[in-house]
């Protein structure tokens, strides 16, 4: 037992101090490891999604030379023109099976691309050079740099043609705008998330309008005006409970009430938004009430002391101060709604819908549902699309959260 040296200031002078410091260091280390662990996971997740999905934003194209007379002959029939052009560019494709294999080198729907590319060029040259999308198998193979396991579905003849195309530098990658604007499709080359994106935006607009207005009004009433009695206490408990109810229950409620009772159109953004707003309302009400509570009572008293009515005090002074908090809560609620799939499944938004919606009543899909649908598809190319859709969804979320932060910073007042 060493005596405590009371005159010294060194660490050794106090017994047990070293042990305390060690414990502190251990704690720091554990904390840092936890952070590093989660960071690693996040990086891995985002990295793998980006790695898998980035390809969805690009498409492999092949350069075709189309003679002017061929255009003159088949200019109004894209299908035939495409087939003729393929044969023209693969002159050694002789015989029925070789011709069929040559046709398959072009992507589904490339006939439309071909026609519009020719129309765009407006040239009278003897041979028109165009780039058209290749088939999804070639696309995948080209993106994987012709990895052996990607070549299984090609015949030897097709492999030969691919080799010559590569040798002649006739293949290139281009940005796939179709992925962002097209609706869903059974063909991976033509499938895009445009429809789902629009559907999500429409749904969120409905959800935002409904839940923001109703949520904030409800929060203001409950916090500022409602008498504090058993009924309001009961309401409060229920709102808190609703926030924890599984989202699929809200989907069932939407199905029963909005679709079956009110007869609103199935799979529509309107119903989707309404269901999601049911789900986000409790979150928004709770966040808004917290924001209202955090406004110092002195501000309220100052207004009331000047002879302002309660409504004036709330709307002139309390609300502007609570608004940043309310907005943050709302946008976080929206972000959750954006990622939600289960309730949408219940109201039919899972259906295959090829056309992007043009109104709130049109049947539509939504981003997370699209991810779910594609993840289920057997075609290899859809795996890439799935990751691509996830990237878009994540970007959408990121933009929303950024908006929340910017709005809050802009509206926040110091006092």
Partner 1 sequence: MQPKILAKNVNVAYGDRQTLFGIDLEIAPQKVTALIGPSGCGKTTFLRCLNRMNDLIPTCKVEGTITLDGQDIYDKSVDVEVLRRRIGMVFQKANPFPKSIYENVAYGPRIHGLAKTKADLDAIVEKSLRRAGLWDEVHDRLDSQGTGLSGGQQQRLCIARAIAIEPEVILMDEPCSALDPIATAKIEELMNELKQRYTIVIVTHSMQQAARVSDTTAFFHLGYLVETGATADMFTNPQDERTEAYITGRIG
* Residues of the shown chain interacting with partner 1 in the complex, contacts defined by CB under 8 A: 227-228, 296, 298-299, 301-309, 312, 316-317, 321, 413-415
Q: Which two three-digit tokens encode residue 150?
A: 């990607």
The smaller minimum CB distance to partner 1, of residues 160 and 296, is found at 296
> Minimum Å distance from CB 315 to partner 1?
11
> Minimum Å distance from CB 322 to partner 1?
12
> Minimum Å distance from CB 228 to partner 1?
6
Sequence-separated (6 or more) residues with CB below 8 Å from residue 319: 220
The smaller minimum CB distance to partner 1, of residues 323 and 338, is found at 323
Cβ–Cβ < 8 Å for 331, 358: no
Spatial separation of the C-alpha atoms in residues 398 and 335, rounded to whole Å = 9
> Minimum Å distance from CB 331 to partner 1?
22
> Minimum Å distance from CB 316 to partner 1?
7
The smaller minimum CB distance to partner 1, of residues 295 and 391, is found at 295
Running DSSP on this structure, what letter comes out for residue 134?
A: B
> Minimum Å distance from CB 305 to partner 1?
4
Strand-strand pairing, 127-133 and 58-67:
antiparallel
Spatial separation of the C-alpha atoms in residues 99 and 402, rounded to whole Å = 53
The smaller minimum CB distance to partner 1, of residues 121 and 232, is found at 232
| 333-to-61, 319, 399 alpha-carbon distances in Å | 42, 19, 14
The smaller minimum CB distance to partner 1, of residues 115 and 222, is found at 222
Cβ–Cβ < 8 Å for 151, 40: no
Angle between helices 380-411 and 319-338 (to 10 degrees): 180
The smaller minimum CB distance to partner 1, of residues 91 and 227, is found at 227
In the chain, count H helices and then E strands: 18, 3
């Amino acid at each position: 037992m060493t005596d405590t040296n009371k005159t010294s200031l060194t660490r050794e002078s106090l017994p047990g101090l070293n042990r305390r410091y060690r414990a502190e260091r251990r704690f720091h280390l554990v904390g840092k490891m936890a952070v590093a662990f989660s960071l690693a996971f996040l990086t891995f997740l985002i990295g793998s999604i980006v790695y898998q999905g980035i390809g969805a934003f690009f498409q492999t194209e092949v350069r075709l030379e189309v003679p002017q007379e061929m255009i003159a002959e088949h200019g109004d029939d894209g299908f035939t023109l495409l087939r003729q052009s393929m044969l023209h560019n693969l002159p050694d494709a002789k015989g029925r099976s070789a011709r069929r294999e040559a046709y398959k080198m072009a992507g589904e729907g490339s006939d439309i691309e071909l026609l519009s590319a020719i129309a765009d060029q407006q040239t009278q040259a003897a041979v028109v050079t165009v780039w058209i999308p290749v088939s999804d198998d070639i696309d995948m193979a080209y993106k994987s740099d012709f990895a052996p396991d990607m070549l299984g579905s090609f015949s030897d003849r097709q492999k030969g043609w691919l080799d010559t195309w590569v040798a002649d530098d006739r293949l290139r990658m281009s940005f796939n705008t179709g992925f962002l604007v097209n609706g869903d499709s059974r063909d991976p080359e033509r499938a895009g998330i445009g429809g789902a994106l629009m559907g999500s935006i429409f749904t969120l607009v409905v959800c935002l309008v409904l839940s923001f207005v109703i949520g904030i009004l409800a929060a203001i009433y409950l916090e500022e005006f409602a008498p504090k009695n058993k009924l309001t206490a009961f309401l409060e408990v229920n709102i808190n409970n609703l926030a924890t109810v599984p989202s699929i229950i809200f989907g069932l409620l939407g199905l029963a009430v909005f679709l079956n009772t009110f007869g609103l159109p199935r799979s529509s953004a309107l119903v989707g938004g309404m269901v999601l707003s049911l789900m986000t309302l409790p979150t928004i009400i709770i966040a808004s009430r917290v924001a209202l509570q955090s406004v110092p009572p002195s501000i309220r008293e100052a207004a009331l002391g000047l002879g302002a009515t309660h409504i004036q005090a709330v709307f002139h002074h309390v609300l502007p101060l609570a608004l940043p908090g309310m907005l943050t809560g709302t946008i976080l609620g929206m972000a959750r709604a954006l990622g939600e799939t289960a309730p949408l499944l219940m109201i039919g938004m899972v259906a295959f819908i090829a056309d992007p919606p043009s109104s709130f009543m049109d049947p539509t899909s939504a981003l997370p549902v699209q991810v779910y649908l594609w993840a289920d598809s057997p075609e290899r190319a859809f795996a890439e699309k799935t990751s691509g859709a996830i990237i878009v969804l994540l970007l959408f979320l990121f933009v929303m959260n950024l908006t929340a932060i910017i709005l809050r910073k802009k509206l926040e007042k110091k006092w």
